[in-house]
Amino acid sequence: MSASPEAQFAPGALAARIDAVIDAAVAESRIVGAVVLVAKDGAIAYARAAGHADREAGIPTSQDTIFRLASVTKPMVAATALAFVDDGIIGVNDPVTRFLPGFRPKLADGSTPVITIRHLLTHTSGLIYGYDAAAGICEGLAGPSLSMAENLTRIAAQPLAFAPGSAFRYSVAIDVLGGLLERAAGASLPELVAAKVTRPLGLEDTEFYPSKVDRLAAAYGDGADGAVRMDDPHTIGNPESSVTFSPSRAFDRAVFASGGAGMVGSAPDFLRFLEAVRQGGSPILSPKSVALLSENAIGAFDTGVAGRGFSLGWSIHHHPEASGAPFSPGTWQWGGVYGHSWFVDPARALSVVSFSNTALAGVGGAYPDAIRDAVYG
């Protein structure tokens, strides 16, 4: 019999379960530094920092350590876009060409389909991650130092993988959305995200270019005998499936601000963002926009996980029993490849943020699954 909700989230029992997961991962050097926060019913139920923000310098992780966010950026850019929908500046069904008239990628047959803002937000546009290196595209983590305009031109020159609206594939779509927002609102993406999300919520550590360098964690990657400090660039994986990182990109103001992967921030900031959305959206979003973030918008398209769809900002576990996840139906979840995972279970008024400085162990596999399972007991 499962524990009652009261016993399940009792502070002592919850802490014992999560502490055991973190302690093992740090002791085994699978994770170098970690911050885990749990909010239940709007109050902090668990908060811990462990390990090192910079192992070689002996700097311990603190709860306000700043991390390279990678795809944790996407939810905040999606929220920025929906704030402009609330303002009537853009519409989710607007064609991308309304704001980016030159962005007209073609299908393999040479035809030019309509891509909408909704397609971008739901990753159903036909764009992809993993373009051939010869295309010279920057996908937000590493690669050539390009302006927004040049990167969009290079993306548009590549054929779409499928007709917009016919399938799901995680992609550079939010980088394209960033360029669209800049054109629609007449300001840079960092200025827009600050105006619509980070400043109204008081997220002082979350930005596109780190201004508090002394609190920025070093970046680590999986190694055969434990995590290793990243080189620059640093590739994890094999030629068939790999991810290349450039930790210094966070400081490169000559490269475009990546809406898909470009921000830095702290775990408390991101928890505050999630809780604001979970509790109705104020002061950044309307209830209508929160509904767009809370409902599966892609039907039965394959996302790679059974029972998981996608809203206009993140994945939605509409049938979590299909994958064996302990989530309630309707749980939101995603992560960031530098080492982060998070989820919000609205039915249980539960928000969990797990940040680390270790890729890929912090974003997928044993560690984030064990954190999730420890939360649910």
Q: What are phi and psi of 118, to 5 degrees?
A: -60, -40
- Helix, strand and coil percent figures for the chain, each rounded to 5: 35, 20, 45
Q: Write down the residue that tokens 């926009």 correspond to.
A: 289
Token reading at 87 = 């303002």
The Cα–Cα gap between 36 and 25 comes to 13
| Residue 127 CB-density burial (10 A; 0-12 exposed, 13-18 middle, 19+ buried) | buried
Is 4 among the catalytic positions? no
Q: Are 121 and 173 in contact (CB under 8 A)?
A: yes
Nearest residue to 371 (alpha-carbon basis) of 19, 83, 73: 19
Task: Encode burial over 9-33: b for 16+ CB neighbours within 10 A, e otherwise.
Answer: beeeebbebbeebbeebbeebbbbb
Going by their DSSP bridges, the two strands 315-317 and 340-345 should be labelled as unpaired
Distances from the Cα of 221 to the Cα of 32, 242, 348, angstroms: 9, 12, 34
Catalytic residue among 62, 71, 294, 354: 71
The contacts of residue 172 (CB under 8 Å, 6+ apart) are 127, 128, 129, 131, 137, 139, 140, 155, 260
The Cα–Cα gap between 350 and 352 comes to 7
| Residue 59 CB-density burial (10 A; 0-12 exposed, 13-18 middle, 19+ buried) | middle
The Cα–Cα gap between 49 and 355 comes to 9
Q: Which residues are catalytic?
A: 71
